[in-house]
Each structure stands twice: as C-alpha cells, then as structure tokens.
Amino acid sequence: ETTHDLQRFAAQLDKWVENDRFYTAEGACASYIPALQKADPAQLGVVMVGSDGTVLQSGDSEASFTLQSISKVISFMAACIDFGTSYVLDRVDVEPTGDAFNSIVRLELHKPGKPFNPMINAGALTVASMLGKRTPQEKVESFVSLINRMTGRRPAINEEVFQSEWITAHRNRALAYYLQENGYLEADVEDALEVYLKQCSVEINATNIAMIGLVLAHDGYHPILKEQILPVQVARITKALMVTCGMYNASGKFAAFIGLPAKSGVSGGIMAVVPSHAGSPQSPFPNGCGIGIYGPAIDDVGNSVAGSKLLKQIAREWNMSIF
Ligand code: GLN
C-alpha cells in the first residue's frame, strides 16, 4: 500500500467522522451512572489498526473513557483462559435474548436460571465471579493483565466512575442475588459486584480497543507481537457472541446492516472486528483490522448513535462484512 492510498483513505475517514458527528445530537450520555454524564456528548472518534500495525484514526480518537460493557468480552476471554471454555459454558450459556442488557426477567422465568449469555449483565456477573483466584483484587488482576497483554498498557480503574456505579448498582445487585440463589455465582454477591463494576470502570481509549479487536480478528493471535494470546476456539466463540449479543437488543440489526462482530458499552465505546476473510481490497486493511470507536451520546438501547452510523459507513463504503 502506498502512502498516497493511505492519505486518500484517511481523508475519507475524516469526512465520514465530520458528517456523522451530526448524529451525536440524536443521543445523550448515559445518566443512570451519574459520572458518565460528564462526558462531552459531541465527541466522535475512531481508530483502526491493521495486522502490520498501520493505524488510521480520526476525530476525538485520543479521548479516554471507561470500558463499561465492552469489558464483558474481555472478562469472558479471561475466564476461558483461566478455567477452559467448558467450565465457563457450564455456568453461562451462549444464547441471545433480545432483551435489554440489564434485564432480569429470564432469570426467574426459565429454571434453573442459568444466564443466557456473557454479554448481558446477568452473564457478565457470573463470569466476573469466576475470574482468576479468590479475592476481588485477584479477579480484577486477571482481567487487567489480559488487557495489558493485548494492548501493551496496564489500564487504571476510574475510581470516580466505580464509586458512581457502586452506589447506584441496585439492579445489578438484584441480578447478583438472583444468580446466587440459583447457584450461578462463584463468589459472594458483594465481591462479584465489585469485580464487575471495576471491570466496567477500567479506563481505555479507542486505540486500545482497536488492538483487542485486532487480536480477535486473527483468532487470538497478536499479529504485531507475533504471539498466540487466546486459544483459537475462545476467539471464535467470542466473535460469535459479539455478533449475536454484542450490541444488546440491536444485535440483529447490527448483523444485518453492518455485518461485523461488535461490542458496545454505555460510555459510548464500540469495539469491532474485521477478520482477515472479511477485509476487502477496496479497504485500507485487506487482511482485516480492529476498530475502536468512541461517541458518548447513546440511544435508548445503549449504543453510541454516531458511533453506530460511523461503523456502518466504514463497513459499507469499504465493503467489509463477515457475511
Ligand atoms: N456498568 C454498566 C452496568 O452494569 C455497564 C452496562 C453497559 O455498558 N451496557 O449497568
């Protein structure tokens, strides 16, 4: 690829970010976690990282934000590394629900109350309770060290966001109690909540989540470090979960109209994966890439409004789809 091509691609990306920034006005920053409301809702940024380390970025691409639900992807991978997939899948299923991310209804309706998938809060609380060793510190460490291995940076926990979540976690606490009653919690309720809310409060940026997406794009292999970080099977299950459950109850529309595995969080981040077979010659990354997007104004479902538009435009214009 010539420098000329890259400049042309960068100019296209700049134009799309500029146009899609308009849509930030159609969403709002999450308010149920008070600290998240401090973000500037007009921000929109994107980072794309290719297998050879080539980076394309545009807009507010250096902003830092908390992982929120994107953390569910990472904790699932960490639990699979720590315990193996069959142990994890005995405790959390891989079926989409089409319910809101924090829905409680199926835990009571469908005995024995096994959470449907690790991308909704119920499943993520179960996974958080499993992680690493016994104490919440050790569990958070299992999560943080996996991010460190994939991104080369040890992320910090945003204490203000964590405190804000902790004191407003009424529904998550209710979910955790249901899970405990049904036997799907491997730690006590307060410890599981602490781990889950800390993983949600980890500070990250679009470059970091693009790097994690890149590792998934290569089935768990880190093409820059040249190291297999996740077993292939774990990477594939994770991508399947992202396609079927990653964008909450808009996952079907994302699969249909964007066609890339993606995971969003209520802070406005989106991590997307372009596996090598989905890269196209019309795109800057014919061998696939990882994509990190940030746009804190979210819709009713909890997905970044402008971020979703931008991802759709990138996928369509550059002809990238897993289908
Ligand atoms: N910490 C948030 C919660 O549990 C994460 C939710 C999300 O990003 N959808 O409510």
Question: What CATH number does the domain containing 260 carry?
Answer: 3.40.710.10
Question: 176 and 157 in one domain?
Answer: yes
Instruction: Write the pLDDT tens digit of every residue in 264-319.
Output: 999 999 999 999 999 888 899 999 999 999 999 999 999 999 999 999 999 999 99
SS3 state at 47? strand
Q: What's the pLDDT at 109?
A: 78
- Report the run of H or E that residue 205 belongs to, with start and end: strand 203-205
Q: What's the pLDDT at 238?
A: 98
43: tokens are: 């921000």
What is the 8-class DSSP label of residue 54?
-
Expressed as residue numbers, the domain containing 139 is 69-200
d(CA 196, CA 74): 12
Question: 33 and 141 in one domain?
Answer: no
Q: How many domains does the chain have?
A: 2
Instruction: Write the pLDDT tens digit of every residue in 219-237.
Output: 999 999 999 999 999 999 9
For the question of residue 198 being annotated catalytic, the response is no
CA distances 235 to 11, 20, 133, 185, 273, Å, are: 32, 31, 22, 24, 11
- Amino acid identity of residue 54, one-letter, is T
Of the residues 196, 202, 304, 312, which is catalytic? 196
264: tokens are: 């969003």
Q: What average pLDDT does the segment 43-65 reach?
A: 97
Q: What's the pLDDT at 76?
A: 98
Residue 226: exposure state from Cβ atoms within 10 A (0-12, 13-18, ≥19): exposed
Question: 236 and 179 in one domain?
Answer: no
Which of these three, 200, 228, 261, is where a domain ends? 200
Prediction pTM value: 0.96
Question: 193 and 75 in one domain?
Answer: yes
Q: Is residue 323 part of a domain?
A: no
What is the residue with the minimal CA distance to atom 6 of ligand 1?
A: 69
d(CA 147, CA 96): 25
How many A from CA of 176 to the centre of ligand 1?
14
For the question of residue 72 being annotated catalytic, the response is yes
For the question of residue 114 being annotated catalytic, the response is no
Question: 257 and 169 in one domain?
Answer: no
| Ligand 1 atom showing the smallest separation from residue 267 Cα | 8
Q: C-alpha angle 248/253/255, rounded to 5°? A: 90
Count of positions (residues) in the chain: 323
Q: What average pLDDT does the segment 9-29 reach?
A: 97
238: tokens are: 């994770």
Q: What's the pLDDT at 236?
A: 98
CB of 259 within 6 A of ligand 1: the answer is no
All residues at 6 or more sequence positions from 11 whose CB lies less than 8 Å from its CB, including other chains: none
Whether 308 has a binding-site annotation, put simply, is no
| Ligand 1 atom showing the smallest separation from residue 197 Cα | 1
Q: What average pLDDT does the segment 115-124 reach?
A: 95
C-beta of residue 135 within 8 angstroms of C-beta of residue 65: no
Question: 211 and 286 in one domain?
Answer: yes
CA distances 307 to 86, 100, 186, 205, Å, are: 34, 19, 35, 14
Task: Name the packing angle between helices 232-245 and 206-217 (round to 10°).
Answer: 120
Count other C-beta atoms under 10 Å from residue 238's C-beta.
28
Question: 277 and 182 in one domain?
Answer: no
d(CA 128, CA 136): 9
Whether 129 has a binding-site annotation, put simply, is no
The pick from 67, 75, 102 for probing ligand 1's pocket by mutation, whose C-beta has the most ligand atoms within 8 angstroms, reads 102
Whether 87 has a binding-site annotation, put simply, is no
How does the average pLDDT of the chain come out, rounded?
95
Q: C-alpha angle 214/65/19, rounded to 5°? A: 75
Whether 121 has a binding-site annotation, put simply, is yes
Instruction: Write the pLDDT tens digit of every residue in 91-116.
Output: 999 999 888 888 888 887 777 889 99
Q: What's the pLDDT at 308?
A: 98
How many A from CA of 124 to the centre of ligand 1?
10
All residues at 6 or more sequence positions from 15 whose CB lies less than 8 Å from its CB, including other chains: none
218: tokens are: 């290569």
For the question of residue 32 being annotated catalytic, the response is no
Q: What's the pLDDT at 1?
A: 56
- Amino acid identity of residue 15, one-letter, is K
Of the residues 47, 215, 266, 273, which is catalytic? 266
All residues at 6 or more sequence positions from 157 whose CB lies less than 8 Å from its CB, including other chains: 140, 198, 201, 202, 203
How many A from CA of 302 to the centre of ligand 1?
9
Instruction: Write the pLDDT tens digit of every residue in 250-265.
Output: 999 999 999 999 999 9
Of the residues 51, 61, 69, 201, which is catalytic? 69
